[in-house]
Amino acid sequence: MMRKIFAAGTLLAVSAMPAAHAGATLDAVKAKGFVQCGVSTGLPGFSAANDKGQWAGLDVDVCRAVAAAVFGDASKVKFTPLTAKERFTALQSGEIDMLSRNTTWTLTRDTNLGLNFAGVNYYDGQGFMVHKSLGVKSAKELDGAAICIQAGTTTELNLADYFRSNGMKYQAITYDTSDESVKGFEAGRCDVLTSDQSQLYALRIKLKNPGSAVVLPEVISKEPLGPVVRNGDEDWLKVVRWSLFAMINAEEMGVTSKNVDEMRKTTKDPGKQRLLGLSGIKGQGLKLSDDWSYNIIKQVGNYSEAFEHNVGMGSPLKIARGLNALWSKGGIQYAPPIR
């Protein structure tokens, strides 16, 4: 019901939207001097407020990268915490300039909402966590298992599809919140806990003994998460898109926040020179200053730094790169060249 109303409202908004001139958002952002970025109200590793009240996380770093590209200062971002239901409205109504809130890129969202996905900053997917003591190595061995899930998410649907297509049976135990499902899993009500993989790692920390559970390698759904902008300003879309691409390209070339200053002075590599705005098209195509990409790498870091620091081995979550490794290292993170 809610969804129908929401969709109706959304359609209304899209049809009522006046045709903005190209570059409207970018100009407006430049004029007001900061990026208004919509993030989650709290999602471990992606966007959460730290002890000092600053927002931090992988999604937050995308916002900071855009600010670094536009203003040369990654701190020129104001964050709007949004719930899942209000995120698209906030973007459509112009309350925020960009949305970086673990949002899955789907056909429906890309076409129906008047929005544009700028890229993918995290390839997520639904996975399984099991008690280590079960000795299960693959999701294919889960026939007849009791599975804890959260009510009312697509998780249930994916689970049903996966088990049916593999000819297996399961018993679903539904909980309302993730805290409850963790407690159920811990108390032994179920053998398996299913959720998006990025969530499973966070849920694992909530266990009394995190080492007693393992996340299985199988991923049963595609959840490419990425930053979103409003339709109608291609310039702005490109700034967001290439801010993300610059981070991925920097990782590929081994340029980090630590060595970027030195690289900029000494590098003879034409690819790195183009990345750092020393030759080639520089900032001109994006209508930004020539050091836009340098500022991103210097202040936010390359993709690998952002990943490891927020969700990877440098964080409590300890998520392996997996799908999010570079294409050259067995993953699927790939960015078009800066040329």
Partner 1 sequence: MSEMMQEKYAPGTHPDWEPPATEVGVIGWMRENLFSNWRNSALTLLGVYLVYLIFVPLIDWAIVNADWAGDTRDACTSGGACWVFVKVRFNQFMYGFYPAEEYWRVNATAVLFALMILWLTVPRIPLKRVAGVLTLFVFPIAAYFLLGGGVFGLSEVETTRWGGLTLTLILAVVGIVAAFPLGIILALGRRSEMPIVRALSVAYIELWRGVPLITVLFMSSVMLPLFLPEGVNFDKLLRALIGIILFQASYIAEVVRGGLQAIPKGQYEAADALGLSYGKKMVLIILPQALKLVIPGIVNTFNELFKDTTLVLIIGLLDLLAIIKAALEDSNWLGYSIEGYVFAGAVFWIFCFGMSRYSRALERKLHTGHKR
Binding site for partner 1 (CB under 8 A): 5-6, 9-10, 12-13, 16-18, 20, 41-45, 48-51, 53, 78-83, 85-86, 89-90, 92-95, 179, 202, 205-207, 311, 315-317
* Nearest Cα residue to 130 out of 221, 223, 195: 195
Backbone angles phi, psi at 43, to 5 degrees: -150, 115
- Identity of the residue, 183 or 222, whose beta carbon is nearer to partner 1 in the bound complex: 183
For the CB of residue 16, give the shortest distance to partner 1 in the complex, in Å. Answer: 8
Using alpha carbons, list the distances in angstroms from residue 13 to 6, 10, 131, 200, 230: 10, 5, 47, 35, 12
- Identity of the residue, 43 or 278, whose beta carbon is nearer to partner 1 in the bound complex: 43
For the CB of residue 110, give the shortest distance to partner 1 in the complex, in Å. Answer: 19
For the CB of residue 176, give the shortest distance to partner 1 in the complex, in Å. Answer: 14
For the CB of residue 285, give the shortest distance to partner 1 in the complex, in Å. Answer: 27
Give every CB contact of residue 274 below 8 A, 6+ residues apart in sequence.
280, 281, 338, 339
For the CB of residue 153, give the shortest distance to partner 1 in the complex, in Å. Answer: 16
For the CB of residue 267, give the shortest distance to partner 1 in the complex, in Å. Answer: 35
- Identity of the residue, 95 or 262, whose beta carbon is nearer to partner 1 in the bound complex: 95
- Identity of the residue, 38 or 226, whose beta carbon is nearer to partner 1 in the bound complex: 38
- The strand pairing partners of 170, in sequence order, are 145
- Identity of the residue, 80 or 221, whose beta carbon is nearer to partner 1 in the bound complex: 80
- The strand pairing partners of 175, in sequence order, are 150
Burial (Cβ within 10 Å: 0-12, 13-18, ≥19) of residue 112: middle
* Nearest Cα residue to 124 out of 147, 158, 88, 97: 158
* Nearest Cα residue to 304 out of 272, 266, 264, 335: 335
- Identity of the residue, 153 or 289, whose beta carbon is nearer to partner 1 in the bound complex: 153
